[in-house]
């Protein structure tokens, strides 16, 4: 009985090489499949990747397969432009003692320059004061070289208006913003395709209209240098 077991053990030991051989064959098959896969790279997709990386570093958009988007470099350049404008604006405001008339901030839309209505307009009027035309032109020249879209927004307080020229605060806010744009386009030669006008009237106050000081803050024209992320929403590009 023992001899029979020994014979089986010897037979098993002699056949173990088959396991090793099969493992080796399997590994070789996987190896050659990998080689074949590498040698069959889709040249079109590879070219897209290479081109997209190049464009990204040049500051344009990227396209990889079915995906696309804005270049990271564009955003960095946009932020640098905003920082440069901030420095120039700050110097301009200080040099001309306009701290109470011109302010700026950066929000999710971009750089927002707020011009108090008392700087530009008489009460109830949309005509820009002749002596402040130069102020607007100097601000416009700072913005002229920026590639961003620009939106000029008009705001009023909640005091009703109803005269021969304007029947509502909406009309007053729109015409004021439009007159600012006319100077930016006609006198500063800014690209009209990149500028839009919005009038919010009394309906977007930044503070409650509960006293004269707050109402004065709400009466303003904002020049918004739009973040490049908003470019995709602009029509007829």
Domain ranges (residues) in the chain: 2-69, 72-233
Spatial distance between the Cα atoms of 124 and 25, rounded to a whole number of angstroms? 90
Q: For position 9, what pLDDT does the model report?
A: 55
Instruction: Read off the pLDDT of each residue in 199-227 and give the average, rounded to a whole number.
Output: 96
231 — pLDDT class (breaks 50, 70, 90): confident
Residue 65 pLDDT class (50, 70, 90 cuts): very low
Nearest to 190 by CA among 152, 153, 221: 152
Q: What is the mean pLDDT of residues 113-126?
A: 95
The two tokens of residue 83 are 């920082």
Average pLDDT over residues 21-43: 71
Element (H, E) at 210: none
CA distance 68 to 5: 70
> In percent, how much of the chain has pLDDT > 90?
51
Neighbouring residues of 51: CB distance < 8 A, sequence distance ≥ 6: 63
DSSP3 helix / strand / coil % (the chain, rounded to 5): 55, 15, 30
**What is the per-residue pLDDT for 71?**
41
72-233 CATH choice from 2.40.50.140, 1.10.3720.10, 1.10.10.350, 3.30.1330.60? 3.30.1330.60
| Selection from 47-61, 88-102, 223-237 with the highest mean pLDDT | 88-102
More confident residue, 61 or 9: 9
Average confidence score pLDDT of the chain: 80
pLDDT of residue 73: 37
Most confident of 1-5, 21-25, 105-109: 105-109
Non-local (6+) Cβ contacts of 113 within 8 A are: 89, 102, 103, 104, 139, 222, 223, 224, 225
Dist. CA 189–CA 183, nearest whole Å = 8
DSSP 122: -
Tens of pLDDT, residue by residue over 153-187, are 999 999 999 888 999 999 999 999 999 999 999 99
Instruction: Judge whether residue 137 has pLDDT over 70.
Output: yes
């Amino acid at each position: 009985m023992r001899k029979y077991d020994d014979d089986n053990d010897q037979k098993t030991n002699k056949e173990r090489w088959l396991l090793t051989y099969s493992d080796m064959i399997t590994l070789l098959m996987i190896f050659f499949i990998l080689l074949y896969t590498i040698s069959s790279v889709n040249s079109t997709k590879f070219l897209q990747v290479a081109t997209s990386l190049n464009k990204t570093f040049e500051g344009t958009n990227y396209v990889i397969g079915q995906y696309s988007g804005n270049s990271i470099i564009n955003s960095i350049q946009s932020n640098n432009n905003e920082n440069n404008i901030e420095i120039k604006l700050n110097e301009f405001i200080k040099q001309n003692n306009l701290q109470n008339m011109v302010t700026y901030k950066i929000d999710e839309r971009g750089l927002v320059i707020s011009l108090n209505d008392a700087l530009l307009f008489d009460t109830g009027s949309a005509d820009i004061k002749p002596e402040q035309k130069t102020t607007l032109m100097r601000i416009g020249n700072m913005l002229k070289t920026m590639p961003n879209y620009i939106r000029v927004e008009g705001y009023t307080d909640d005091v009703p208006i109803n005269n021969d020229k304007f029947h509502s605060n909406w009309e007053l806010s729109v015409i004021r913003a439009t007159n600012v744009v006319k100077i930016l386009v006609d006198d500063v030669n800014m690209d009209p395709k990149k500028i839009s006008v919005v009038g919010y009237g009394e309906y977007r106050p930044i503070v409650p209209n509960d006293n004269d000081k707050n109402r004065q803050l709400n009466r303003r024209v904002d020049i918004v240098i739009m973040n490049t992320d908003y470019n995709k929403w602009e029509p007829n590009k």
